[in-house]
Structure 1
Amino acid sequence: MWILPQIEELRGRGHQVVVILPPGRGRLTLELQRRRFEVAESPFDFRIGAPSLRGLLGLRALIRRLRPDVLHYHLLASAFAGRFATLGLPVGRVHMVAGPLYLESPLIRPFERLLWRLDDVIICGCQHASDRYGELGCPPHRRTVATYGVNTDRHRPDWLAPTATPVAGLDHDPRVSVEARAKARAELGIAADTFLAIMVSYVYPPIRLVNRGRGIKGHDVLFPAWRRFRERYPNSHLLIVGGGWGEAGARHRRELIDQFGISADPGITWLETVDDVRPWYAAADVSVSPSLGESHGAAVEAGAMAVPSIVSEAGGLPETVDEQCGWVVPMNHISALTDALSEAYATFEDGTLIERGHAARRRMVKLFDNRKSAVQVADTIESVAARRRRR
């Protein structure tokens, strides 16, 4: 759904936008149709590892028929397909990097060192991705940074209020979230004085060529760290929100549940994917993102909801917090994560964790609002189109 503010900005400027997606009636397709965007079915399924020359040629024919000024693609498989399908065509290419993990791969990096040259501009979703492309030889003027971010009006701690009522220098009314917090905790069976940590993430299947076949989101780091932490502080609870991404992700989720005995652990609740995460953030005291590879992830949603975060050093995650609003721990480090949870608990007990949440909210509004970044993306696409027309 993160393309929506970007294409709304482009349409608002008077541009025609066509979104090419695989066939089917997924959530994104349905939302695009509801908003009256044109959706074209792709003959190519965008899956790396199962390329179809016929599908790629069909995608090329579709693009030739649409005659776009600029082709804007996000995910790596889409980048490969978009680049090769448009070789020799008079179209600008803008690659936006959603997740930078592939830039750490010793197998993919040599190819990307050559293939980025087919892009007119690479819009990096985090500074980390821009730095990695710099290492591959991409000059600064061809690797701008614009975050995917979060809608800080939709994700706000007082979202239940019809209008915002700033209080004590804040841009929201923290009193409004009290009722939402109580309701969500009641549904979970969590007491008001219990320290509640939350991790919001899909469970992606392990990829054999990345992270030595481990899941990317770090569930296998969090669970042992949480067990150690809860031995020290039993008045604590961990809420996991997110189902498996596809069938393979669902299988990996079941493997994690079995491996770590989640079903029998009274200190952990694991919910499937939900349509609206705001009630669960409202219930939480701290968000945890122990990822092994990430851009900004759930930390921006949590921060917009005035929930401070503990993040790993992976990818762009450290960009989401500072010393006022969160903690950064080494990647894949169980003891460091346990210690950070303990520090968060100490601030929970002394009452200063709330101030960290307010600081997180201010940081998201200033640096990660997706409507501001949508303007940057639209500006970049327009500049590429203008340069193409001058050739």
Structure 2
Amino acid sequence: MRVALVLKTDEGGRWTLPHVDELRERGHEVIAVLPPGSEGRLRKALHDRGVDVVQSAFDFRFRPAPSTLTGLLGLRRQLRGIDPDVLHYHLYASALACRLAALGWNVAKVHMVPGPLFLESPLIRSVERFLCRLDDVVIGGSEHIAKLYRAIGLAPERTPAIPYGVDVEDFTPPSPAYRTASRDALCAGDDTFVVCMVAYVYAPKRLIRPGRGVKGHDVLLAAWKKFAKDRPDARLVLLGGGFDAAGAAHKRELLDRFDVAADHTIDWHDSVIDVRDCYAAADLSVSPSLSENHGAAVEAAAMGVPSVVSDAGALPEVVDPASGWVVPRDDPDALAGALREAYADFRAGTLRRRGELARERAERLFAQHRAARAVADVLERAARDRRAAAR
């Protein structure tokens, strides 16, 4: 079969690559439709695989202007020219564009949802209650997302839950030498309690939690101030710059608000070549998001790092009481309490066992190769069902 993969970004969305690889290994053709623009990392990865990439006629920005209609009509012509058996899309703007561009067209449509944030807007949720019925299948990137779609009226058979997962062969517990080298790079000795948070900084959204960054950096920084004031042997490593110009501005505001430059227990890096270096050095990972799917916690787990996660979205699916902690979202006091418990485990020598159990859980529930096979199965089934209905 031929699959048209549509995303509103050519930079992010690399979590689709295992799906592309699995589909092509089965002999299917994949053609990607990405927004016009520069050579982003997703576009390059697709080119390196020999996947055809089409520059979308639509820029995935919905504005009350004639160019929006013109762009959608252009996208429809492009998709009809590709003539796919399955139209497959991720990210909400991509879903809106594909649904509108494919109105009245007999093609299987499969939407895979990487995060629940848009459904937390009452306005968007009320609209999505009707628009999601244009999809043949909505794959929830977690049980949490699948349940949200079932709550607005889609049947369970149309809402499978499949994680995006993590590559458990690339993300593995570090060797002693790798861990030592990674900690040396941070000037962290064996007795230093190293906590990491790996996440881009996103600017606050206008419709959802106005004024707040969704990843919860402010929550962690407030909790850290409480936790670390009498623990000079603790180190917080934040990894991630602003996702865009607005995100970079929000990061600068956080740096100023929490006086990060004057705090010797905090290091904040914009980026590194390999995030695994950060996890290799860490004793604990923290995901304090206000809204999230599985997030960075699955990468940490795969590398044998236990996590403290908020109760937002699908984060509680990643840990269990043996492998980490779940705390109420937007609660610095509760987060500081979990940090104290993890620190006590670190000092007692029992924190490492939590990391071993986190790794076992990642292998069992979030292995990327199994998830990719499940996504390919759904796409094949959707194409068969659409062909059968047409007959």
TM range (shorter): over 0.9
Q: Which amino acid aligns with 1:205?
A: A
Alignment map for 1:188-207 (pairs within 5 Å): 188-207=186-205
Q: Post-superposition shift, 1:50? A: 7.0
The amino acid that maps onto 2:76 is R
User: Equivalent residue for 1:352?
Assistant: 350
Match of 2:133 in 1: 117
SS of the aligned residue for 2:32 comes to strand
Q: Residues of 2 paired with 1:339 and 1:49: CA distance?
A: 45
Map of 2:165 onto structure 1: 149
Task: Please give the alpha-carbon distance, in whole angstroms, between the structure 2 residues aligned to 1:48 and 1:56.
Answer: 10
Distance in 2 separating the partners of 1:298 and 1:326: 14
The Cα shift of 1:263 comes to: 1.5
Does 2:89 correspond to 1:73?
Answer: yes
- Report what 2:61 is aligned to: 47
Q: Equivalent residue for 1:21?
A: 34
Give the structure 1 partner of residue 214 of structure 2.
216
CA RMSD of aligned residues (A): 1.1
Residue type at the aligned position of 1:222: L
- Distance change (3 Å), C-alpha of 1:49 and 1:147: farther
Partner of 1:322: 320
Q: Which residue is 1:92 aligned to?
A: 108
Aligned residue identity for 2:81: R
TM-score by length of 2: 0.94
What secondary structure is seen at the aligned counterpart in 1 of 2:271?
Answer: coil
Deviations 1:98-141 (A, max 9, x none): 01111121111100000110000000001111111111011101
Residue of structure 1 in register with 2:47 after alignment: 33
User: How far apart, CA to CA, are the structure 2 residues paired with 1:142 and 1:274?
Assistant: 39
CA drift at 1:265: 1.1
Q: Distance in 2 between matches of 1:362 and 1:144?
A: 24
Counterpart mapping for 1:1-391 below 5 A? 1-23=14-36, 24-49=38-63, 52-158=68-174, 176=175, 178-390=176-388, 391=390
3-state SS of paired residue (1:144): coil
The number of residues matched between the two structures is 373
Shift of 1:250: 1.0
Give the letter for the 2:48 counterpart. R
Q: Specify the code of the residue in structure 1 equivalent to 2:307.
A: S
Specify the SS of the correspondent of 1:346.
helix
Change over 3 Å in CA distance of 1:320–1:48 after alignment to 2: farther
Residues of 1 paired with 2:332 and 2:319: CA distance?
A: 20
The whole-number CA distance in structure 1 between the counterparts of 2:273 and 2:313 is 26
Contact 1:60/1:86, CA 8 A, preserved across alignment: yes
* One-letter identity of the residue aligned with 1:125: G
Letter in 1 for 2:337: D
Report how far residue 53 of structure 1 moved: 1.4
Tell me: CA distance 1:288–1:37, structure 2 relative to 1, closer, same or farther (3 Å): same
Q: Secondary structure at the match of 2:377?
A: helix
Partner of 2:11: none
1:325 Cα offset (Å): 0.3
For 2:327 and 2:291, how far apart are their aligned partners in 1?
13
Check conservation: 1:325, 1:357, Cα contact below 8 A: yes
> If the length of structure 1 is used for normalisation, what is the TM-score?
0.94
Q: Any gaps of 5 or more consecutive residues in structure 1?
A: 159-175
The residue type paired with residue 138 of structure 1 is: L
Gaps of 5+ in 2: 1-13
Q: What code does the residue aligned with 2:274 have?
A: D
Aligned partners of 1:202 and 1:273 also within 8 Å: no
Say which SS state the counterpart of residue 122 (structure 1) adopts: strand
Give yes or no for contact 1:95–1:123 (8 Å, CA) kept in 2.
Answer: yes
Cα deviation for residue 224 of structure 1 reads 0.8
Q: In percent, how many aligned pairs have the same letter? A: 52
8 A contact 1:216–1:291 mirrored in 2:
yes
C-alpha distance in 1 between matches for 2:61 and 2:324: 36
Report the CA distance between 1:49 and its aligned residue. 4.9
Shift in Å at residue 186 of structure 1?
1.6
Give the secondary structure class of the aligned counterpart of 2:203: coil
Distance 1:50 1:307 in 2: 47
Pairwise CA distance, 1:275: 3.0
Shift of 1:212: 2.5
